[in-house]
Amino acid sequence: MRTAGEELRAAMWMYAFALVVLYYVVRWFRELERVPDRGSKYVYITGCDSGFGNLLARHLDKCGFCVVAACFTEKGEEELKKSCSSRISTVHLDVTRQESMDKAANFIKELVGQKGLWGVVNNAGVSVPAAPCDWLTLQDYRSMLAVNLDGVIGVTLSVIPLIKKARGRVVNVASVFGRISPVGGPYTVSKYGVEAFNDSLRISMKPFGVKVLCIEPGFFKTNVTDSDILIKSVKTLWEKLPKETKADYGDDYVSKVEITLKEKISKMSDKDLMKVVSCMEHAISAVRPRTRYSPGWDAKLFWLPLSYAPTWLSDYLMLKDIVRPERAVA
């Protein structure tokens, strides 16, 4: 027979479990309601040539929104126009150039009129150059920050008056690597910056009725996680290294990294991009969107919990399977 103390603990666990289930059921019902009049709401999406941005543009078009899809190439614009309804508008955008952002913003201002802009989704981003920190120069950092961080800030500021007018949404695509840094180089730096900008903007815009939401995906199969692109970046940077740095890492370091990247990325990358797109769509269309979304089981069950772990533990787990430099201290 169980003691009174054991029965009490069992009852407490049951109540705790019931409360967790109740929380998620209530949240699910609250999040079902969608905003009305989608046909009069304009949504501006960056990085629509491929990947998440391209899929989101198509998806929101099917949902009835008026999409303004920003592409870097004419080919991207043409393909979206062919595959979407007449509601979609496309615009060329280079997020590293102020005049390009201003030109796109002026186009949108003429398009939306007095209604304002319902939403902007800052999706454009790159993942290279990628390598250990001591392989890189300040310019390597600047080139990525110009797209992944400055681009997010610049695009947002260029249309924020229109967003305020509509009491709309700003959706910033960060990464689970904006919470933890398992890789060297500027990518995680840029995503930490997006997280900081997102949080400060959310507080600033709250009095104006503007919602600011953040998407933090795990590993998904896109150009950002393309092992061939990442390996090419590593090889290019290796060739530029001074002899003493190459000696630190060893002649076979790059070949080992290539094998490791291909194995890990193929195992970890989720091919179902709609998991991320569905979160983006919810952030734009739900009456009660979440503040943060973390699509991907690796994000939910590994990376986010690891970001809250003690530093010694997270460092141990991230260093456990890395390719060790030849001159690494034992």
Asked whether the beta carbons of 133 and 185 are under 8 A apart, the reply is yes
In contact, 76 and 48? CB cutoff 8 Å: yes
Alpha-carbon distance 62 to 32, whole Å? 18
Buried b (16+ CB within 10 A) or exposed e, 226-264: ebeebbebbeebbeeeeeeebebbbeebbeebbeebeee
CA distance 184 to 17: 39
**Across the chain, where does the E strand assignment appear?**
42-45, 66-71, 89-92, 119-122, 169-173, 211-215, 292-293
Catalytic residue of the set 23, 24, 42, 187: 187
Task: For tokens 């078009």, name the residue.
Answer: 61
Which residues are registered as beta bridge partners of 71?
92
Give me the count of residues in the chain: 330
Q: Name the 3-class secondary structure at 116.
A: coil
Catalytic residue check, 24: no
State residue 291 phi and psi, 5-degree precision: -70, -40
Judge contact between 117 and 165, C-beta under 8 A: yes
Which are the contacts of 323, defined by CB distance < 8 A and separation ≥ 6? Answer: 253, 256, 257, 260
Residue 279 near residue 220 (C-beta atoms within 8 A) = no
Contact between 279 and 296 (Cβ < 8 Å): no
Residues with catalytic roles: 187
